[in-house]
Amino acid sequence: MKKILVYILLFQLAMVFAGCEKEIMPYKGKEGVYFSVRNGNKYLESLWPYVPFSSVEFVRIGKDLVEFPVMVTITGPVKDYARSFRIEVNPDSTTAIAGEHYEPLQADWTIPVGAISTNIKVRLKRTPDLEDKPVTLGLRLVATKDFELSFPEWDAIPTLTSGTVVPEFDASLHTLRINDIMVQPAIWRGSLQPGNKESGLFGVFTRRKMEFLIENLGLKYEDFESEESMPLARSILVGADASAILIKRFNEKKPVLEEDGRLMFIGSVPWTSIIGVPYVP
């Protein structure tokens, strides 16, 4: 029965978005709400599966405060009046601290007139501890006089396979996985040689080095995610611009250092950088 309801729902949505005026089968299930969040390959959006979680990565967002959207969709007929639903924090899946990692959650929301969905907004904060340890914020839909809970037992739809597929979950629950952890991106043209010596165009990846590039060259972390956004030619230009800044700072006696005190190494800087060996003026 669960899968039948899901397929009926998808059929309804397809008819709405296509602007189809043909009469469709009347909906037989409950009037309810569920979290309709999808995740997958950005090039195959129509095949994204529904998932019970969202990743909130501040390193990619680049802001200290973000209003993170989470979609809630209805089952049942569209109405010519607004209807309310309710959200609360689910303590069973929450490690985030109220007031520190997130602002008080707005409890009451509405599905607008003639709409089948809406985005709730959760205000999240970037804090230093997220650089080392992720936290979670669980959300839970609460039944109201207007809506029940549509799919407390959701089965994955077989045709939606472009991404992480979760076979079964409760679609009245959703978890935000929040972090600010920076790992080496897919495109990083640098390495570590014997003797812990940095080499290559960018040397060894560090968070401080990436933040330097973001702050001084207007780059984004996601610029380094693929060859399309960071081809070799662009990498060479980045290395040249970055090394010019580093050399200028060094000559001004304001050298840019890594956490262990060594000189930052990028591009054609004239110094050798060995991990663990601090710079001595």
Tens-digit pLDDT profile for residues 69-102: 999 999 999 999 999 999 999 999 999 999 999 9
What's the pLDDT score for residue 216? 97
pLDDT category at 28 given cuts 50, 70, 90 is: low
Report the percentage of the chain scoring pLDDT > 90: 80
How many domains does one find in the chain?
Answer: 2
Edge-to-edge strands of the sheet including 148-149? 117-125, 65-75, 32-35, 148-149
Last residue of a domain, one of 179, 199, 234: 179
Average pLDDT over residues 190-203: 94
Same domain, 100 and 141: yes
CATH number of the domain at 92, please: 2.60.40.2030
Distance of alpha carbon 69 from alpha carbon 109, whole angstroms: 13
205 and 78, same domain (yes or no): no
- Sequence-ordered list of residues with C-beta below 8 angstroms from that of 195, at least 6 positions apart, any chain: 274
Are 133 and 214 contained in the same domain?
A: no
Res. 45 pLDDT band, cuts 50 70 90: confident
Phi/psi at 33 (5° precision): -130, 155
Looking at the structure, do residues 219 and 152 belong to the same domain, yes or no? no
> Does residue 26 fall inside a structural domain?
no
At 44 the pLDDT is 79
The predicted model gives 19-33 an average pLDDT of: 56
Count of Cβ atoms closer than 10 Å to residue 83 Cβ: 19
What is the mean predicted confidence (pLDDT) over 108-123?
Answer: 96
150 CB-near residues (< 8 Å, 6+ apart): 5, 29, 30, 32, 33, 34, 74, 75, 171, 172
Q: pTM of the predicted model, to two decimals? A: 0.78
Q: Which residue reads 């839970």 in tokens?
A: 140
Both 129 and 211 in one domain: the answer is no
In terms of domains, do 158 and 212 share one? no
Q: Does 20 have pLDDT greater than 80?
A: no
Q: Are residues 72 and 195 in the same domain?
A: no
CB-neighbour burial class of residue 135 (10 A; exposed 0-12, middle 13-18, buried 19+):
buried
| Domain stops at, among 179, 204, 221 | 179
In angstroms, the CA 207 to CA 182 distance is 6
Which pLDDT score is estimated for 29? 66
- Looking at the structure, tell me whether residues 131 and 198 fall in a common domain: no
Residue 23 lies in a domain: no
CA separation for the pair 273, 196 (Å, rounded): 8
Q: Is the pLDDT of residue 43 over 80?
A: no
Q: Are residues 53 and 151 in the same domain?
A: yes
- Please report the pLDDT score of residue 22 as a whole number: 35
Listed residues 179, 208, 232: the one ending a domain? 179
Give the range of the structural domain holding residue 144, as residue numbers without chain letter. 32-179
In a domain, 74, yes or no: yes
- Beta strands 154-155 and 117-125: pairing type? unpaired
The pLDDT value recorded for residue 163 is: 81
* In a shared domain, residues 194 and 68: no
Write the pLDDT tens digit of every residue in 261-272: 999 999 899 999
Give the DSSP letter string of 228-251. Answer: TTS-HHHHHHHHHHHHHHHHHHHH
- Mean pLDDT of the 24-52 span: 80
Residue 163 lies in a domain: yes
Q: Is residue 166 part of a domain?
A: yes
Residue 25 domain-assigned (yes or no): no
24 occurs within a structural domain: no
217 and 106 inside one domain: no
Per-residue pLDDT reduced to its tens digit, 169-179? 999 999 999 99
Average pLDDT over residues 111-126: 96
Does 22 map to a domain? no
Q: Pairing between strand 168-169 and 190-193?
A: unpaired
Q: Are residues 168 and 189 in the same domain?
A: no
Residue 209 is given by DSSP the state H
Which band of pLDDT confidence, cut at 50, 70 and 90, is reported for residue 18?
very low
Model pLDDT, residue 8: 43
pLDDT for residue 242:
97
